[in-house]
Structure formats: structure tokens, C-alpha cells
Amino acid sequence: MEALDKNSSQASGLPLAFHGSVIHSLDLNELEILENCFILVDKTGKIQAMQPDVESSQINTIVSDHGYAPDVFPIKRLRRGEFLCPGFVDTHNHAPQWTQRGVGRGQSLLDWLNHVTFIHESKFADPEYARRIYSSCVAGFLQQGITTASYYGSHHGEASRILADICFEKGQRALVGKCNMNRNAPDWYRDSSIADSLHETRGLIQHIKELDPESRLVKPVLTPRFAISCDPDLLLGLGDVARENPHLPIQTHFNEAKQEMNFTRQLFPDFRTEADLYKKFGLLNDRSILAHCIFLEEEEMATLKELNCGVSHCPISNTTMQEFMVAPIREYLRRGIKVGLGTDSGGGHSSSMLDIMKQAFVVSNARQMITQGQDPALSLSEGFFLATLGGAQVCGLEDRIGNFVVGKEFDALEVHTIDLEHPGVMTPVEEEDSISVIFEKFLMTGDDRNISKVYVRGRSVKV
């Protein structure tokens, strides 16, 4: 088991404290940029105080007011060009595809699955391979500031348990699911039976409950890959599992591509829409995370809003398969549907949430042109909301993470934009730049080299 960073104040049992610039979203339309802000994180990893416009001379008084002796623990003083922001939330991630990113461009979705992905994911039948690749995967996402990820595993029960273990060991907040798939995949890459699929699913749920009984970091998530890969009896069984576990999140692919949608209609001719299908099988509710959602009909959008489902917007994979697909994200936001961002990094080419935010902006420009201005492009602050608080809402974690409200858990990035000794490729910060300009430069041109520290529940987790 890899230890968390033992040099962090949190790991030593002491609180954390920061003084400097802090940036977070209060809601979709309100980005808060605070200078000279003081944040105090207690030894359980929760934000105990968050106060803007604090002079250095006032800090000891604030510390004392919260029950601590001044100077007992260090206070990190952020310099110009350094700031805190919430950790990124990846609402759609295929962990087994970590080593196939960028492979299979120009293929249709179903061809890509059959010719690239299933072959690759079948390797996870080997537990040692699974441990090695998942260790690299989780470490890689933490390095890039993804403090929370909703993971699809392979269809293998043991490998999925290993993924959960590694997330817990490395300190990443995660939803972990075993892919359910008993048809329309090769014989060597599908569940052997409905009974086996459900047995392994329940086994993973129990394993995670024993690993992390209070769900402090890791939770199980029900994961029918998509309707194409599950026959009706398996979907019925998964609906039973959902009812047995009323707090269990559910994730699947939803209206991803025309080819997939047409095949789903052939397999389930009694259902007019995918929303009808998943609702009938008990898999559509306020815990559902629906990836892609490119071609929703009016009644489906109404159903998602009514049931409070979440949409995982994956702008890179949507635009790098054979089709260039533009999801109507502005329409979902207008209706009050929860939306977060997903790397879907096997289907796309990047595991960086910074890249995903940029592509979400680009794709929204395309949507603005398609709709002749009826769907305005996303603003920079809206994209940042989707990557943080919006993603937390989609994953059902908004009461715990997503911003720096007092009482929430401290999942955060410490961003450094000025490094004279080891300059990266980020746009240089100039003397006249305000903190808002520095923030924009980071979002549009920064990378993981600018993310100096990553915290989950107050613990430093970036190696």
C-alpha cells in the first residue's frame, strides 16, 4: 500500500492554514475571486474557517478564535501568482483505457469498441496487470488535479476491486463500478452469465463497503456499460440492485452516437427513447450519471429534469471519434439539469481537465453558430463551474466538495503560475496582471506543472 504524503500537516494530525488568493464557484453564474483570504482546515479535513480580506496581523486572532494556539501549526502564505481552487471532478472516466488514450481515431463508436477497446480491456483479467496500470492511472489523474473521478472499470470483478483499493490507498475520492455487459461483445470479453454479472456487482459493492464503511473516499457505482451490452434480464437485475441500495449512484452511456441509438432501438423496440428504457428498468433517478447526452429529445430532457439526473459532458471524445458531436449543454443548463465534465480519456485523447474545459468552450462556440446565437457559448467561469461544483452535483457530492464553503471537505489545488527556475509553457504572468487575468491564463494555457499541490480531505496526495 502506498502511503499518503507524510510531510503534509494534515497527515501529522495538525490543521492546515492558507493565506492568499482563493478562487471558487458559488453557482453557475457566480465565480468568487478572493484576495488575502484565510482558510483554516481542521484535522478531519473539513474547512473550519474561510474569511476574505484578512491582514497578516489578524491571523493569530482568527486562529485563537477557532480554538488553536497561534504558531502551533504552519500557515502557508501564497505569493503573487499562487492561488487555491477546488479540485477537479471527472464525472466520466474509463480507468482501463489509461494506456489506450489517443488510439483508434476516425472509427465509429461500435467499431472502436470492437477493434480497440474490448481487446485492450480484456487484459485486466490479469490482476497484476490491473494493479500496475490502475496505480499509474490514479496517480496520473491526481497529478493533473482530478481529486474526484467516477470510474468505469472493466467487466472483471477482481480488477474492479483492485481499482477501488488503489483509489483508497492513494487518497483519491472515487466512484468505482464494474462494467456490466453480457452481450454484443466478444465471447472472451463479456460476463459469463447474468448471475455472474450480478454476483460480481454485489461483490464489488460489499468490498467497497468493507474498505471504506463511511464512504469517506470511495463509493461503489452501478455501471451497465450501455443498453446495447445488457440484455433485458440483466437490466432488470441491475434495477433490483439499485433498489436494494437506495443511495447507490448509477452510471451509463446515454444517447452517445446515432449508430449506438439506432442499435439500441433495434434491441429494445418497445421503447421510444433511452430515457424510457432506463426509467422502466429502475436505472434513472437523481443518482444517475449519464455520459454524453448528445441527441436528447424534448421529452427526455423533461424526464432528466424531473428525475434530477446528471449529465456528464465529454467534449473531447465527442469531437474526436468518427462523428463531430456537439451536445446542447446550454439548453441543459437553461433547464436546470445538472451538468459536469468528463475526460472519457480513452474515447478522447487527453486526461487533463484543463484540456476538457478548453474543448467545452470551443464546442460551445460551435453550438452557438449552429443555433444562430440561441445557445450562447460557455464563459470561462461557467466551464470552471462544470469542472468543480457542477461535477460534484452530478456525482451527488455537492454537500461535501466542489467549493470552499465552511463545513465542506478540503479538496483543493494549489496553483503556482510563476516559476523562474523551471518555467513551463503557460503564458507568462506580467506585473500588471490581476488575479483574474492570471486565473484565465492558467485555465487556457497552464498544465499539471502549474499544480504544485493536490489535497483530498485535507491530505496532500500529489507525489
Residue that is written with C-alpha cell 460551445 in the block: 364
CATH number listed for the domain at residues 88-395:
3.20.20.140
Over residues 249-289, the pLDDT tens digits come to 999 999 998 888 999 999 999 999 999 999 999 999 999 99
The architecture CATH gives domain 16-86+403-460: Roll (2.30)
Burial group, residue 443, by CB count within 10 angstroms (0-12, 13-18, 19+): buried
DSSP element (H, E) containing 356 = helix 353-370
Beta pairing partners, 151: 93, 176
Place of cell 510563476: 418
User: 362, 283, 288, 277: which is closest to 327 by C-alpha?
Assistant: 362
β-strands 412-416, 338-341 pairing? unpaired
Per-residue model confidence as pLDDT tens for the chain (463 residues): 333 443 344 444 689 999 999 999 999 999 999 999 999 999 999 999 999 999 999 999 999 999 998 888 889 999 999 999 999 999 999 999 999 998 888 788 888 899 999 999 999 999 999 999 999 999 999 999 999 999 999 999 999 999 999 999 999 999 999 999 999 999 999 999 999 999 999 999 999 999 999 999 999 999 999 999 999 999 999 999 999 999 999 999 999 988 889 999 999 999 999 999 999 999 999 999 999 999 999 999 999 999 999 999 999 999 987 778 899 999 999 999 999 999 998 888 999 999 999 999 999 999 999 999 999 999 999 999 999 999 999 999 999 999 999 999 999 999 999 986 777 789 999 999 999 999 999 999 999 999 999 999 999 999 7
Q: What is the pLDDT of residues 435-447, one digit of tens each?
A: 999 999 999 999 9
If you write DSSP's letter for every residue of 144-184 in order, what string do you get?
TTEEEEEEE--S-HHHHHHHHHHHHHHT-EEEEEPEE--SS
Domain ranges of the chain: 16-86+403-460, 88-395
Strand ranges inside 215-297, DSSP E: 218-220, 223-224, 250-254, 288-292
53-81 per-position pLDDT tens digit: 999 999 999 999 999 988 888 899 999 99
The reported pTM is 0.96
Contact criterion met (CB below 8 Å) for 268 and 248: no
